[in-house]
């Protein structure tokens, strides 16, 4: 059950730029038509968060640099009785190009992360969840270097605590909370 919760958190986090990826795009409009659709050539450079896009990093696609062609959606507004087409700004087209490139990576990584989180839960090393969450959120502050610089010491601390006490931080915290909850209930019975 915890794997599903972590997966939902990571899926929501993957929707936000600068938390799940850093990207930039240069665009060139190739062609347009009367309906407002634009053929856009995009040249993108994207660095993915290694904890949210784990499969991408394992397969060597953690950093994307390339070009592709896509069809931009027009924006309509109404003036009078007929709708008019308003073409998108270059900034909108750049953001759309980055989202298009990220979407392709997001779908496969959600499935991979679910399997990874399920295995972590089944093996019983739930403290790895905490280390991954800390590493993933620190990506927005320091990029790839910052995420790894925070993840590795956190992982070492979690492993040290588990080896010293025999149970992990999350299990220990859970047991402490259950004890504190159970004591007042036992007193109420008397």
pTM of the model: 0.73
Total domains, the chain: 2
Alpha-carbon distance of 121 to 3, in angstroms, equals 7
How would you write the pLDDT of the chain (190 residues) with one tens digit per residue?
677 888 888 888 888 888 889 999 998 888 766 566 788 899 999 999 998 998 999 898 889 999 999 888 776 655 666 666 666 778 888 898 999 889 888 989 999 989 988 888 888 777 788 888 888 888 888 888 888 888 888 888 888 877 787 777 777 777 777 776 666 655 555 5
DSSP-derived secondary structure for 89-149: PHHHHHHHHHHHHHHHHHHHHHHHHHHHHHHHHHHT-THHHHHHHHHHHHHHHHHHHHHHH
Q: CB-based burial of residue 103 (10 Å sphere; 0-12 exposed, 13-18 middle, 19+ buried)?
A: exposed
Domain end, chosen from 123, 150, 180, is at 123
Residues 106 and 133 in one domain: no
Measured in Å, how far apart are the chain's first and last C-alpha atoms?
A: 35
Contact criterion met (CB below 8 Å) for 88 and 72 = yes
Residues 14 and 68 in one domain: yes
């Amino acid at each position: 059950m915890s794997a599903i919760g972590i997966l939902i958190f990571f899926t929501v986090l993957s929707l936000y730029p600068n938390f799940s990826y850093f990207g930039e795009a240069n665009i060139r409009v190739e062609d347009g038509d009367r309906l407002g659709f634009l053929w856009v050539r995009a040249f993108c450079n994207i660095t993915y968060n290694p904890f949210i896009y784990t499969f991408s990093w394992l397969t060597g696609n953690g950093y994307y640099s390339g070009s592709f062609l896509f069809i931009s959606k027009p924006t309509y507004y109404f003036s009078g009785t007929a709708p008019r087409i308003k073409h998108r700004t270059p900034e909108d087209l750049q953001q759309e190009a980055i989202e298009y490139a990220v979407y392709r990576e997001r779908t496969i990584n959600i499935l991979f992360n679910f399997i990874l989180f399920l295995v972590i839960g089944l093996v019983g090393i739930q403290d790895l969840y905490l280390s991954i969450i800390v590493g993933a959120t620190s990506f927005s502050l320091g990029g790839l270097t910052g995420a790894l610089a925070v993840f590795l010491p956190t992982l070492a601390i979690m492993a040290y605590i588990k080896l010293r006490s025999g149970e992990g931080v999350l299990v220990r915290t859970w047991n402490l909370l259950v004890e504190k909850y159970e004591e007042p209930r036992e007193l109420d019975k008397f």
